[in-house]
Structure 1
Amino acid sequence: MSAQTADFQDLFRRVQPAEGGREVFDPATGESVGRAPEASVEDLDAAVARAKAAQPGWAARSDQQRSQLLHSAADAIETHAEGLARLLSQEQGKPLNGPNARFEVGACVAWLRATAEFTLEPEVLVDDDSGKAVLHWRPLGVVGAIGPWNWPMMISIWQLAPSLRQGNTVVIKPSGYTPLSVLALVEVLNTALPQEVLIAVPGRGEVGDRLSRHPDVAKIMFTGSTATGRSIIKAAADTVKRLTMELGGNDAGIVLEDADPEAIAEDLFWGAFINTGQTCAALKRLYVPEPLYDQVCQALVEVAKNMPMGVGLEEQNVLGPLQNKAQWEIVDRLVTAAKDSGARVLIGAEPERNTAGYFYPTTLIADIDPQNPLVVEEQFGPALPIIKYTDLDQAIEWANSLTEALGSSVWSSNPDRAEEVASRLVAGTTWINKHGAIDPRVPFGGARESGFGLEFGLEGLKEVSQPHIISQ
């Protein structure tokens, strides 16, 4: 047995219940991955109580001590990186290679290390004859983190790293689709962190609802659908919790007439199909000017034909299955609606049905009406509609017409022109000649119904802190 296999099996053993629990299946094969524990509401209450008791001691540590412990936690992830990636691949479905499982585990390390180095210093607001006012940033207390199934490890780190950095303790509820990945991640992190500073509580919807309502939880951080986000906002209202909501996206990309189709094709592809399209800030609708339309379509087809899809543990694959049957059915419904409307299939759109895995072929749809369901509803899977435009103002109007406004992008060989168009788009982030590229130093968040609050960088630290002004 290799050291990597032994580490994977040890992690796997440590996160499974001794008895009972719920069976988790590999979305690529339909085979059982193992059993996940399921906590009760009473278990959640006990976890919050333990986190609350541990929080003053954690906050009392120096800024430097907390930074060093986050670096130690990053070291622990690196030690177990391959085991974590293999568990993630089996449970979530994403391949080991490409921007997938190994990439996600590496991103966990990068975000921990970057967050460990951020420091919110007190800010002197006034210091003159009238007096002195200084803004300080204090811990909130217990932060509740509710994560998604698409990037379960990485997004958990986005939530817990700044919270811990600022002296909060964290109770995290993983998605019911991918609990083992997060439980294993927390198990590894807790080899470096003090006891009860970070507690994972897997469970069904009632556990998440209780976390959102709990009077001893000061803040909720949530990444997931807009519909679930609305429920959390309502649940948190009675206790006036702080909230960070990173919700659904239906990101638009606009190609300008001066773009080079061959040069941008691969970046366009990965902007749309990273994690097999299961990314909130993925490119989900692409607007292309008529003179470049056929060239862009053909260039994307050539890229798509060379991207192997299959079981994640097979090293050659870079695209995997959809994570669950419900998501497969959404993609299938939207692609079918596009085909029925007369839109042109460039590649894909013919899934194998009644198979064990939730695979949907890489799909590109052309000559599609701007109001087709595949365009205006978030597909969250490997299907990209490509919409032709003849008037840039109309394309911008289409891009800005939806309630979701997480990300967007502009593709051009003229930086000044691209920036001018970018300034007219409504989104939390607009990228130029890339899509979905994130950096732990650069704040990230949504507009409109894609949520509110910022993650990453100093702004992300402020979101998990209580501003306290001392004025004299």
Structure 2
Amino acid sequence: MPATTTTILDAISASEEAGRPIPDAATRETIAYAPVHTVADLNQAVTTAQAAQPAWAALGHPERSRILHAIADELEANLEELAVLLSREQGKPLDGPNARFEVGACALWTRSAADITLEPELIFDADGARAEMHHRPLGVVGAIGPWNWPMMITVWQIAPSLRMGNTVVVKPSEYTPLSVLALVEIFNRHLPAGVLTAISGGREVGAAIAAHTGIDKIMFTGSTATGRRIVESSAHNLARLTLELGGNDAGIVLPDTDVSPIAEKLFWGIFLNTGQTCAALKRLYVHDSVYEEVVATLAAMAEEMPMGPGLEAGNVLGPLQNQKQFDIVARLVDDARERGARIVTGGEAASELGPLFYRATVVADIDDDAALVDEEQFGPAIPVIRYSSVDDAISRANASEQGLGASVWGNDTEAARQVASRIQAGTVWINQHGTVNPHIPFGGVKASGYGHEFGAAGLKAVSAPQVISY
């Protein structure tokens, strides 16, 4: 029978005396107490994972895939309970493309990791000589996740790793440990002991993962600054890395674009998860011919979208997850206002809803050198920048050190594809933004990291290539 939220929460929570209080993102009331694990706990988890890995690998792909499907079934059976916990801890509402969507995506990505085929590749066959490329388990994967999509991104890390025969040690964000602990609890109902362990610790635990000699692969989603520290810490161990780092994604709306058909996708490309998405649209360059229409359309939609506590039916925008992120958004918008930018809508806290709510904000008549354009806001505030020349818009879009995603919007798909080919980003979407697919590789360029997740490329990223020649 599916467990209730209380049962899952009871299974993962620490006592008040031994744990750390985790607040509800909307109300700031304590949800539960997260365990406080240490570096010693991490060391034990790695030792256990090393011991469990050979037997897990020996099960073979068919059996590991069967187990992953069973896990996906259990995720779906407990979807509502997991979504309620996620909504409370992270802040995203149950409704809309939010908490229920995220838990459902966990099941989808788990099934995808189970089903994608990765056959040996014949890479040479001539003159009586053959060579094949095989993909073997790496060993122990260390997965360090973020707080914005804590369950879904953790599944992106652990499901492919498990499928390929690795064992995994997970460190959730200090802001959202309960969601990840609940996810791991569901996984571990079907996994052998020691195959998957969650370590709910502080920054010192994350640093220890990066430098741990018993970890063969590190997967990290988070800031560029932290990613650089992970590269440095892992250098002496030569652990393989997949880094999905910060994004300051640009969008370009081409001249004479029909705004109405793209409006909804444009809005959610910006404001999905109240803007707290790595690959959200963070800078929007709009041609003179449609500039005011785009600004007015986005502002009207922002004013109409229901915002409030995530457990209240109908809300689709929630709070900022933590005070630090709220302060960043407020600072960037205030700076834009002081520079003379036009705050079309929003631009202030929605304190009547709760401590960390900030109104969906559209900022117009702003220049590239403004902090709101240059820095990743990671919140519900979009700078809309005017341009006259497409070549100029491309140059300005490419000026950022980051290159996670980007998008091009227009009536002519072929023209949009030509522009997309000139943008420096790991993924460029056309007439959409931030849409990911478990079969399509995803990863950044420049300071947005390296390595790919999803699809066969994602499976290869958590395996060791082995060439057999004969």
Q: So what's the TM-score if we normalise by structure 2?
A: 0.98
- Residues 281-296 of structure 1 correspond to what in structure 2 (within 5 A)? 281-296=279-294
**Secondary structure at 1:95's aligned position in 2?**
coil
1:280 partner amino acid: C
Other-structure match for 1:233 = 231
**Secondary structure at 1:426's aligned position in 2?**
coil
- Structure 2: distance between partners of 1:188 and 1:132: 44
Deviation at 1:188, TM superposition (A): 0.8
C-alpha contact 1:426 1:447 (8 A) present in aligned 2: yes
1:141-161 Cα distance to aligned partner (Å, 9 max, x none): 000000000000000000001
C-alpha contact 2:319 2:358 (8 A) present in aligned 1: yes
Deviation at 1:394, TM superposition (A): 0.7
Deviation at 1:119, TM superposition (A): 2.0
- Residues 4-23 of structure 1 correspond to what in structure 2 (within 5 A)? 7-18=4-15, 19-23=17-21
1:98 to 91, 96, 99: 96
Other-structure match for 2:114 = 116
C-alpha contact 1:262 1:296 (8 A) present in aligned 2: no
- Residues 298-309 of structure 1 correspond to what in structure 2 (within 5 A)? 298-309=296-307
1:296-325 Cα distance to aligned partner (Å, 9 max, x none): 111112211221111010011000000000
Deviation at 1:163, TM superposition (A): 0.3
- Structure 2: distance between partners of 1:166 and 1:419: 35
Other-structure match for 1:37 = 35
1:68 to 66, 72, 93: 66
448-457 vs 188-197, greater mean Cα deviation: 188-197
Deviation at 1:355, TM superposition (A): 8.1
Deviation at 1:194, TM superposition (A): 1.6
- Structure 1: distance between partners of 2:343 and 2:122: 60
Other-structure match for 2:124 = 126
Deviation at 1:130, TM superposition (A): 4.8
C-alpha contact 1:258 1:414 (8 A) present in aligned 2: no
- Structure 2: distance between partners of 1:356 and 1:203: 28
C-alpha contact 1:186 1:200 (8 A) present in aligned 2: yes
C-alpha contact 1:142 1:169 (8 A) present in aligned 2: yes
1:102-134 Cα distance to aligned partner (Å, 9 max, x none): 000000000011111012111111122151111
Deviation at 1:354, TM superposition (A): 10
- Residues 386-465 of structure 1 correspond to what in structure 2 (within 5 A)? 386-465=384-463
Deviation at 1:357, TM superposition (A): 2.3
2:226 partner amino acid: T
C-alpha contact 1:76 1:192 (8 A) present in aligned 2: no
- Structure 2: distance between partners of 1:353 and 1:318: 17
1:194 partner amino acid: P
- Residues 289-328 of structure 1 correspond to what in structure 2 (within 5 A)? 289-328=287-326
Other-structure match for 1:150 = 148
**Secondary structure at 1:143's aligned position in 2?**
strand
Is 2:340 the partner of 1:349?
no
- Structure 1: distance between partners of 2:311 and 2:22: 17
1:192 to 177, 190, 193: 190
Is 2:249 the partner of 1:263?
no
Instruction: Give identity over the alignment, percent.
Output: 56
1:41-67 Cα distance to aligned partner (Å, 9 max, x none): 100000001111000000001211111
- Structure 1: distance between partners of 2:153 and 2:359: 26
1:403 partner amino acid: E
**Secondary structure at 1:212's aligned position in 2?**
helix
1:426-466 Cα distance to aligned partner (Å, 9 max, x none): 00000000000000000000000000000000000000010
C-alpha contact 2:248 2:376 (8 A) present in aligned 1: yes
Deviation at 1:76, TM superposition (A): 1.0
**Secondary structure at 1:127's aligned position in 2?**
strand
44-53 vs 344-353, greater mean Cα deviation: 344-353
Is 2:58 the partner of 1:50?
no
Deviation at 1:258, TM superposition (A): 3.3
Deviation at 1:189, TM superposition (A): 1.0
Other-structure match for 1:202 = 200
- Structure 2: distance between partners of 1:114 and 1:30: 36
- Structure 1: distance between partners of 2:164 and 2:344: 49
Deviation at 1:416, TM superposition (A): 0.7
**Secondary structure at 2:4's aligned position in 1?**
helix
**Secondary structure at 1:444's aligned position in 2?**
coil
1:374 partner amino acid: L
Deviation at 1:351, TM superposition (A): 1.4
Other-structure match for 2:465 = 467
1:212 partner amino acid: A
**Secondary structure at 2:105's aligned position in 1?**
helix
1:406 partner amino acid: L
- Structure 2: distance between partners of 1:330 and 1:198: 35
2:46 partner amino acid: V
- Structure 2: distance between partners of 1:353 and 1:169: 44
C-alpha contact 2:308 2:353 (8 A) present in aligned 1: no
1:369-420 Cα distance to aligned partner (Å, 9 max, x none): 1211101110000000000001111111000001000000000110110000
2:328 partner amino acid: I
C-alpha contact 1:121 1:136 (8 A) present in aligned 2: yes
C-alpha contact 2:256 2:289 (8 A) present in aligned 1: no
- Structure 2: distance between partners of 1:139 and 1:281: 29
C-alpha contact 2:349 2:356 (8 A) present in aligned 1: no
Task: From the superposition, tell whether residues 352 and 320 of structure 1 become closer, same or farther in structure 2 (CA, over 3 Å).
Answer: closer
C-alpha contact 1:212 1:235 (8 A) present in aligned 2: yes
**Secondary structure at 1:461's aligned position in 2?**
helix
336-345 vs 349-358, greater mean Cα deviation: 349-358
C-alpha contact 1:282 1:435 (8 A) present in aligned 2: yes
> Which consecutive unaligned segments of at least 5 residues does structure 1 have?
none
Coordinate RMSD, CA, aligned = 1.3
> Which consecutive unaligned segments of at least 5 residues does structure 2 have?
none
C-alpha contact 2:349 2:357 (8 A) present in aligned 1: yes
- Residues 267-278 of structure 1 correspond to what in structure 2 (within 5 A)? 267-278=265-276
Count of aligned positions: 469
- Structure 1: distance between partners of 2:364 and 2:215: 48
1:321-348 Cα distance to aligned partner (Å, 9 max, x none): 0000000000000000100011111110
